[in-house]
């Protein structure tokens, strides 16, 4: 008897949960659109997305933004009309200042640089766009690409395999790491140990 009830009730509960999850996602999308600096007509978000600092983000008409996309709008992001962002796309408009004199990086100073994505651009899955980049109209960005520089209009770009770009200044790093280890040892001296 209980098995019969479970077989009927559990699918019903699952459908109700899915229905309300979809309602909540739709509500969240409307709230995000309301907070944007500009939101064109026909903008579509797919499932969960995250837009930080939406007041600095402008999205043109008929833009599609895929699931799990993150737009970090601290430095400003502009996306032109008819552009598609695939799933897991990350657009950053702020980054840590690697020349800062503090560690760890949570307390670091950020550098803000706007990102501009043109019209009719196709950005495939798992793309990372770094601060300060401009992508020209009609460009296509291949899956898995890290976009570190401007992309010309109509260009098709990708960047595999990985390569070393450059190395950090060792003396600067050693100086910062030394400060950090001094701070840790000073903190551990101030905290009473369990053995005392």
- Give helix then strand counts, H and E, for the chain: 2, 18
The Cβ of residue 94 has, within 10 Å, a number of other Cβ atoms equal to 20
Scan for tokens 């020209």, then name that residue: 136
Closest to 45 in 3D by CA, of 26, 61, 22, 58: 26
Q: Which of 73, 41, 46 is nearest to 60 (CA)?
A: 41
- Interatomic CA distance for residues 120 and 44, integer angstroms: 15
Distance from C-alpha of 69 to C-alpha of 22, rounded to nearest angstrom: 17
Assign 122 to helix, strand or coil. strand
Instruction: Looking at the chain, list the stretches that DSSP marks H as alpha helix, in order from N- to C-terminal side.
Output: 2-35, 170-190
Residues with catalytic roles:
96
């Amino acid at each position: 008897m209980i098995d019969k009830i479970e077989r009927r009730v559990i699918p019903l509960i699952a459908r109700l949960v899915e229905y309300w999850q979809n309602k909540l996602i739709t509500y969240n999308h409307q709230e995000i659109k309301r907070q944007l600096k500009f939101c064109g007509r026909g903008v579509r978000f797919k499932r969960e997305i995250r837009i930080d600092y939406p007041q600095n983000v402008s999205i043109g008409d008929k833009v599609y933004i895929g699931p799990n996309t993150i737009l970090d709008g601290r430095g400003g992001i502009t996306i032109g009309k008819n552009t598609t962002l695939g799933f897991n796309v990350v657009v950053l408009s702020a980054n840590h200042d690697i020349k800062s004199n503090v560690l760890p990086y949570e307390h670091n100073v950020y550098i803000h640089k706007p990102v501009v994505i043109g019209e009719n651009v196709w950005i495939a899955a798992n793309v990372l766009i770094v601060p300060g980049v401009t992508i020209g109209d009609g460009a296509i960005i291949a899956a898995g690409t890290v976009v570190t520089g401007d992309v010309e209009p109509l260009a098709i770009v990708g960047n595999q395999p990985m390569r070393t770009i450059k190395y950090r200044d060792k003396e600067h790093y050693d100086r910062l790491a030394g400060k950090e280890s001094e701070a840790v040892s000073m903190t551990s001296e101030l905290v009473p140990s369990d053995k005392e």
